Homo-oligomer: A and B are copies of this chain.
Amino acid sequence: MRRETYNEFRRLCQEHNLAATHQREKIYEALVSRPGHYSPEEIYEQVKQDLPSISLATVYKNLKTFLHAGMLREVSPHHGSWRIDANRHPHHHLVCTHCRSITDLDFDSLGPVKLHGKLPSGFRLEKFTIEAQGICKACTAAETKQH
């Protein structure tokens, strides 16, 4: 691992009161040293090359730990369950990051995406999708009721 990455990892662990273990180091490295956004399984495979005895559960657990500490983020708020869209008209989505509900937002509510320059060569664009992420009405209500 590059010294810079290593120092950052140590710093982040210290900041969040996490032991900077060998396993965590390699998991972190597997994430930041490569360009894509990988699944736990892929990260596991990568780390296993250095630490053959690591457990998949350790990968999952530490990813959760890192996320919870704010060291990492989820790429998308809607993994985990398959959602179907029966609306054939162009539209956007409002996504509640709390209850994961998804509702439609009129196409005209948002301006078009403007591309500055070009996309990476070789990528064949089909469309831009915009999601408005936040907390829905119901969740906001439930929250304020609690306090």
Contacts and interface: CB of A to CB of B under 8 A. Distances in A.
A104 B35 contact: yes
A18 to B, nearest CB: 15
A141 B123 CA distance: 10
Interface in A28-87: 28, 31-32, 35-41, 43, 63, 67, 71-76, 78-86
Instruction: Give the interface size class of chain A.
Output: 35 or more
Contacts of A113: 110-111, 113, 130
Q: Is the interface of A mostly helix, strand, loop or mixed?
A: mixed
A28 B110 CA distance: 29
Interface of A: 28, 31-32, 35-41, 43, 63, 67, 71-76, 78-86, 93-94, 97, 101-105, 108-111, 113-117, 119-137, 140-141
